Amino acid sequence: MTAAPNEPRIRPATPADTPLILALIRELAEYERLAHEAVADEAGLAAQLFGPTPRAEVLIAEVGGAPAGFALFFHNFSTFVGKPGLYLEDLFVRPAFRGLGLGKRLMVRLAQIAVERDCGRFEWSVLDWNTPAIDFYRSLGAVGMDDWTVQRVSGEALRALAARSDI
């Protein structure tokens, strides 16, 4: 049985999707009020996603063949569980396609991948002001890790740390 022409579908991204993935990343950055931080380019993204050592994977959501959203994820590792984890870096559905269950379909497919790959965890971060996303994740059974805070070293601070010779 084939799917109806407008039936939503989730598929793995291919190298030909690189321009679309970059466009979706930029749309997400706009939504998150972080467009100034979205400095990725097509060549770098293609190398990281589809080069000899892929660093992340992408699922594309489509409706009637039209690109509607994406999920970008990669594996991390839990020493406590002794297994890999699946980390969702980005989940985004274009506004015109919201309300069709695409976010839920992407999350279910990611959970299936995590189970298929024997992951001990499936986790992600969400901006604390993004109440619709937090409510959505809670509806799927997610639990906030409120005792943990994200720490980050990037840009010049990262270069300075890497260059320290006083240790």
Residues carrying an active site annotation: 137
**Under 8 Å between Cβ of 26 and 38:** yes
| Distance (Å, whole) CA 12 – CA 10 | 7
List of residues 6+ apart from 90 with CB closer than 8 A: 25, 28, 70, 71, 72
DSSP 53: S
| Distance (Å, whole) CA 22 – CA 156 | 24
For residue 41, which of 28, 30, 25 has the smallest C-alpha distance? 25
